[in-house]
Amino acid sequence: MRTAPAFWSHDGLLAGALSPLSAIGAALTARRVARPGWNAPVPVICCGNATVGGAGKTTLVLDLARRLSGQTVHILLRGHGGAARGVHRVAPGDPASLVGDEALLLVQAAPTWVGADRAASARAAIGAGATMLLMDDGLQNPTLAKTGSILAIDGATGFGNGRVLPAGPLREPVAAAAARCHAAVLIGPDATDALGRLPSSLPVLRADLVQDPSIAALAGRTVLAFAGIARPDKFFEPLRLAGAVLAATRPFPDHHPYTAAELDALLCQARDRHAILVTTPKDAVRLPAAIRTQVTVIGVGLAWHEPEQIGRLLERMIAADPAALH
């Protein structure tokens, strides 16, 4: 995804002018998600969102995969930015150009499958021994019935101006997305009153992004940071707070495929400034192996405000009847 239009964060004339197109898009999405999906013989948990762009879904899926380590968990996703067609089981050595960057992060936690048809991916995963399926995105994909769905919300951006594409960042109205979810997870402080747009009956769990402890080693060090994620400042600002001296920050579009010229420029700039080159795990898997060894990678995880809540939620969703959600 390229940089989001500025007007998506506030209502105004342009958003209003585009609202007739939004109404059409919302109607088409509602018709699509109403289609019945395949009911898998194993629990299916979806981590989705109502907006385009990064809401923390992949970080949430990684956290849940580790919590469900007693199960034979397999992960399903579309594989944004990858060239794979049909159903493809991700191998750790696959290039990001084939399966997408998120798949290469997820396969480190559990067997992972990419494919636009989630039902076809689910059948393949179950055939390979999966006893539980986790979906990274797919809340608006009806091909596979969900045992339970979680609405991931980025606290900093929330639901933007509250309008559906192209007038705003929503894939569908918030109420429609929330109606198909067991719970919402708010990641970070609620800077836009996103929770005020949710139905009061929807349980809300809260968590914060926390950097890997290795970030402490960057305190007082000169750093050149680069990131091609939906909101690069989510990576840059924690580096500042950790005491790193940021010689420069280089934001790139989400899922950006780095060229040799861009990487050469980053290496030269870091060398000229006597700086450490630092990036995210999602960016690191898109780098050639020779470059990756010259870059420090700082990951993130979730710190839950009430960790016991997520355990109880998973238990309820695993025990739920998928047909009750349709």
Q: Is domain 13-208+305-325 given the CATH code 1.10.3210 in the classification?
A: no
> What secondary structure letter does DSSP report for 309?
H
- The pLDDT of residue 326 is above 50: no
Res. 322: pLDDT tops 70: no
Domain at 213-298, CATH class: alpha beta
Beta bridge pairs of residue 226? 250
Neighbours of 255 (CB within 10 A): 20
Among the listed residues 117, 171, 178, the one whose alpha carbon sits nearest the alpha carbon of residue 144: 117
CA distances from 305 to 46, 149, 188, 207 (A): 21, 20, 10, 6
Beta strands in 121-202 (DSSP E): 132-136, 148-154, 183-187
Q: Which of 191, 164, 187, 214 is nearest to 50 (CA)?
A: 164
How many C-beta atoms surround the C-beta of residue 51 within 10 A?
26
- Report pTM: 0.93
* Tens digits of residue pLDDT in 222-238: 999 999 998 899 999 99
* Per-residue confidence (pLDDT) for residue 287, from 0 to 100: 97
Q: Using alpha carbons, select from 204, 177, 182, 209 the residue that is nearest to residue 193.
A: 204
How far is it, in rounded angstroms, from Cα 36 to Cα 150? 19
User: Could you tell me which of 325, 51, 324 has the C-alpha nearest to residue 197?
Assistant: 51
**Two structure tokens written together for 44:** 């299916």
For the chain, the domains span 13-208+305-325, 213-298
- Alpha helical stretches, state H, 154-278: 174-179, 233-241, 260-272
**What's the rounded Cα separation, in Å, for the pair 271 and 166?**
42
**If pLDDT is split at 50, 70 and 90, which confidence band does 318 have?**
confident
pLDDT band for 2, please (50, 70, 90 cuts): low
* Euclidean distance between CA atoms 89 and 103, whole angstroms: 10
pLDDT tens track for 63-84: 999 999 889 999 999 998 899 9
Phi/psi region, residue 115 (left: phi>0; alpha: psi -120 to 50; beta: rest), is left
Q: What is the mean pLDDT of residues 148-173?
A: 96
Q: Can you tell me the distance from the alpha carbon of 152 to that of 172, in angstroms, rounded to the nearest whole number?
A: 14
Which strand ranges, in their side-by-side order, compose the sheet holding 300-304? 88-89, 112-114, 73-77, 132-136, 44-48, 148-154, 183-187, 204-211, 300-304
Q: Is-same-fold flag (13-208+305-325; 213-298)? A: yes
Q: State the pLDDT confidence band at 325, using cuts at 50, 70 and 90.
A: very low
Looking at the DSSP bridge assignments, the partners of residue 148 are 45
Identity of residue 111: P
